[in-house]
Amino acid sequence: MTPMTTGPSPVGGKVKLTPAALTLDDGTSFTGLAVGECLEASGEAIFITAMSGYQEVLTDPSYHGQIVVFTTAHVGNYGTNPGVDQASSPQVAGVVFHELWLPEALHWLSEADLPEWLRAGKVGALTGVDTRSLTLHLRDKGARNGVIAPASAGLEVALARARAVPSMNGLDLAVRVFCKTPFKRPCAWEREEGSPPVYRVAVLDFGVKRSILDQLNLQGFDLTVWPGDTPPETIGGERPQGIFLANGPGDPAACSYAIRAARHFLGRVPLFGICLGHQIMGLAAGGRTYKLPFGHHGLNHPVLDRDTGRVFITSQNHGFCVDPESLPPGVRANMWNLNDGTVEGLTWDDAPAFCVQFHPEASPGPHDSRGLFARFRQMIKEHDAQA
């Protein structure tokens, strides 16, 4: 067993703090203090390098089933605001901080302090942890399943619980987070004579972020958001002019319903995919995906577009990747991660389709690649003119 690791003392305050620990399935345990009532949390522990946007991260459905470790040392001083939520409730299984801000939030728009928000969302939270040591461990050993539990549970009990957490490989988590019934989200463009056309786009929801829907609406798309397992024949019956495949959590290879839908629409209707949607499109083309050691989670990943020579600084959140060697002729890996050389974007030479592994909508993150939404509009426009 690896010795228990003691982290720094958190900022003082009136929040109840209870001795607890994050125990990983390899026997390593990192001690800290649970925030409020000690809510146990289990899932895959990953680290994120974001320096801001913690509320957007914690409400991103792509983090469903994960324990998120923030590498930035100090989190929570500007509180929370429901206007930036990416889903209707927190999505993470748990969260680990070096130092969680416990006094009253310092931002005038804040409606709740972060500790209060975490308690209301029933998120197991741990502060006072040596997150530098924890991050180095996850970087060197890879993302690992773990459990946040009170110190009174004991190491052996916590370790057994951590080892009982299902592997992310083969796990369909999208089915837990996509909408259960379809809904409309019309754009706000004025429908006046001579104004640009408004296009009908079907969104296949695997855990779509609200900011993605916002960016699609801004491009002049009337959206119908469909549950991710909706039969493609049902969606096609609505005659969409474009198909968008959303982000989401879990192993893309487990989402057979999504792969079937993407394969059905490829070559028939313009397609654009982000994150899990990118992986689904790669699988639909006949490619393979594989799990990264610790994934890409942060707002600072450089991506090269070989078609233009441009480098984007991107926001990312994914644990799986498309294998470029598995792609058939006609599907090009045209975008590449400059940190580790993994695939970040695909384009089809013989079909109106492209996809990216990163998040061009950001929220949080840089806006370098938001032009990809305009590219999707142009693709629909050209395809519609030829129809």
pLDDT digits (tens, 9 = 90+) for 154-206: 999 999 999 999 999 999 999 999 999 999 999 988 887 778 899 999 999 99
Confidence of residue 3 (pLDDT cuts 50, 70, 90): very low
The secondary structure of 161-195 as a DSSP string is HHHTSPPSTT---HHHHS-SS-EEE-------TTS
pLDDT digits (tens, 9 = 90+) for 103-131: 889 899 999 999 999 999 999 999 999 99
C-alpha distances in Å from residue 274, one per residue of 129, 243, 346: 33, 12, 11
Q: How many CB atoms lie within 10 A of CB 333?
A: 19
pLDDT digits (tens, 9 = 90+) for 67-109: 999 999 999 999 999 999 999 999 999 999 999 998 889 899 9
| 383 is annotated as an active-site residue | no
- 44, 56, 344, 361: the catalytic one is 361
- 38, 255, 275, 321: the catalytic one is 275
Domains and CATH numbers, the chain: 17-163 (3.50.30.20), 174-386 (3.40.50.880)
| 318 is annotated as an active-site residue | no
| 297 is annotated as an active-site residue | no
Check: pTM over 0.85? Answer yes or no: yes
Residue 6 pLDDT: 38
- 296, 297, 318, 359: the catalytic one is 359
Alpha helices, DSSP H only, in 33-107? Answer: 54-58
C-alpha distances in Å from residue 355, one per residue of 146, 237, 278: 32, 24, 5
